[in-house]
Structure 1
Amino acid sequence: MAETHRVQEKSLHERIMGDVEGRILSGEWPPGHRIPFEHELTLEYGCSRMTVNKALGELVKKGLIERRRRSGSFVTQPHGQSAVLEIHDIQREVEALGLLYDYKLDNRELRKANAEDRVKLEIASNAQVLAITCRHFTSDVPFCLEERLINVASVPEARDADFSAVGPGSWLLQMVPWRAAEHRIRAISADRRVAEALAIPNGTACLVIERRTWSGQTYITQVKVTYPGDRHELVAHFLPS
């Protein structure tokens, strides 16, 4: 009889975990949503409080929820990771977190390179660039802001790509072979423009990754990706020299 009780407790613990996790990953319970209190889940599932506590504890370990003393449990903000020395696809980065991905193109402009563009891509004064501003989302929450320049001479196909459905980073990784890249990483405080784009308060600490990629002696693209600082971290793996 005792063994049967333990099996039932285990299956209930897994069921509670699965139900809560499913609602989070589907977007039904977005970041910041309060999870029902333990006594509410105890009544809903007809189980002991210990079983509920164990299920929620496992979800805390997975990074899906956080517990706040005297307030309850809440869905956490997505916390992504990027390898410092890799060019990663933001859509895959989001989906690796088990979250729903969405994308929005905010601006696309084909123009003659201005002075700032020429410095970033080391191109001539008569060169053309495609300037793109877009955002990536997790379950309707802004994940990062992407601001990109594409050297049209290096990637003439970009002239006809509208990027309304596919992000420029994903498109470039599929279309254009690159030979080398450089990263610059810095912290900023969100100004009004960035704060509005990422739905965060003015002055919020943000992580900025700037990258240029090139093929041969020609730069292909320059991109600046801005993340809310509490939702992203950089990871590097290395060996002793």
Structure 2
Amino acid sequence: MSDNGIEAVKLDGTGPVYDQIRRAIRDLVLNGAWPPGTAVPPEHALMERLGASRMTVHRALVQLAREGLITRRRRSGTIVANPPASHAMLDILSIPDEVRQLGQDYSFQILSRRDARPSPEVAARFELKRSEQVAHLVTLHRSGGQPHVLEERVIHLATVPAAAAERFETTPPGDWLLQHSLWSQAEHAISAVAAGERESGLLEIEQGEPCLLVERRTWNQNQPVTAVRLLYPGGRHRFIGRFGPYGAV
């Protein structure tokens, strides 16, 4: 960022200094002066420019990251975040379509897979019977090279036996299921959770940052098809539901 960029950070003299810094940077982001992808001055530069302590500057930047206005990366520094992606709250999501609607390139990686009876931890997480045979997959989806969502999924092999032979080399599990299985009922829940150590490393966010957890289960004529947990970095996403007097529209 040029000197003119950091000189645009001006305190208004009202309230705690950390909040003045937060508001000054927030306003530059929201009014378009610092568009998405703009490098935010490093902490030491802001300290020198504003005469503030490292703790004060750090506190302001942490709060801006929690608000989803900036993205802090361990190695490449801090940048202005892209506007949050919007999701239709009641849809069965196609993550590749979701990413492409943002104008970004999509990619995915299967991080792990195990076809067997579920472990006690997996059974508890997805409310499974220990006798069920499932494919347990962990997938990282990327948008423009950046982690988009971390997916953990179980597929009931008794209901979808073809999944046992599928390698998911070109199509991620969720889209493959939409193309190769039927569902008649679904339920989902959305909650806010803090990123754990493993999740934060995979999503390239700080440990403890807020995330949106979407949990969904689907059935076909009372037979379970799949259950999935989708962990989205909270600052990069928002969910939308449109409804009328008689339900979703």
Partner of 1:153: 158
1:236 partnered with 2:241: yes
- Asked if 1 retains the 8 angstrom alpha-carbon contact of 2:39 and 2:80, the reply is no
Q: Distance in 2 between matches of 1:36 and 1:161?
A: 54
1:225 to 226, 230, 248: 230
Amino acid at match of 1:231: R
TM-score, with structure 2 as normaliser: 0.66
Amino acid at match of 1:139: G
SS of the residue corresponding to residue 177 of structure 2 reads helix
Identity across the alignment (%):
33
Q: Distance in 2 between matches of 1:200 and 1:121?
A: 25
Partner of 1:205: 210
Partner of 1:16: none
2:219 to 214, 218, 228: 214
Partner of 1:190: 195
- Asked if 1 retains the 8 angstrom alpha-carbon contact of 2:40 and 2:80, the reply is no
After superposition, give the CA deviation of every residue in 1:46-92 in whole Å (9 maximum; x if it has no partner).
xxxxxxxxxxx9x949x856797999x96533521211111010010
Give 5+ residue unaligned stretches, structure 2. Answer: 6-28, 47-69, 71-78
Matched residue count = 189
Q: Distance in 2 between matches of 1:111 and 1:235?
A: 36
Q: Distance in 2 between matches of 1:87 and 1:130?
A: 20
Q: CA deviation at 1:214?
A: 0.5
Partner of 1:128: 133
Partner of 2:81: 76
RMSD: 3.3
Partner of 1:52: none
Q: CA deviation at 1:122?
A: 6.2
Q: CA deviation at 1:117?
A: 4.8
Partner of 1:181: 186
Amino acid at match of 2:91: E
Aligned pairs for 1:1-241 within 5 A? 60=32, 64=36, 76-77=81-82, 79-115=84-120, 117-118=122-123, 124-241=129-246
Q: Distance in 2 between matches of 1:227 and 1:107?
A: 19
Q: CA deviation at 1:230?
A: 0.3
Q: Distance in 1 between matches of 2:210 and 2:240?
A: 19
Q: CA deviation at 1:236?
A: 0.4
Q: Distance in 2 between matches of 1:153 and 1:75?
A: 47
User: For residues 103 and 154 of structure 1, do their structure 2 counterparts lie closer, same or farther at Cα, with a shift above 3 Å needed?
Assistant: same
TM-score, with structure 1 as normaliser: 0.68
Amino acid at match of 1:222: A
- Asked if 2 retains the 8 angstrom alpha-carbon contact of 1:121 and 1:221, the reply is no
After superposition, give the CA deviation of every residue in 1:135-174 in whole Å (9 maximum; x if it has no partner).
1101211001000000000000000011133210010011
Q: Report which of the two structures shows the higher radius of gyration computed on alpha carbons.
A: 1
Amino acid at match of 1:226: L
Q: CA deviation at 1:121?
A: 6.2
User: For residues 209 and 160 of structure 1, do their structure 2 counterparts lie closer, same or farther at Cα, with a shift above 3 Å needed?
Assistant: same
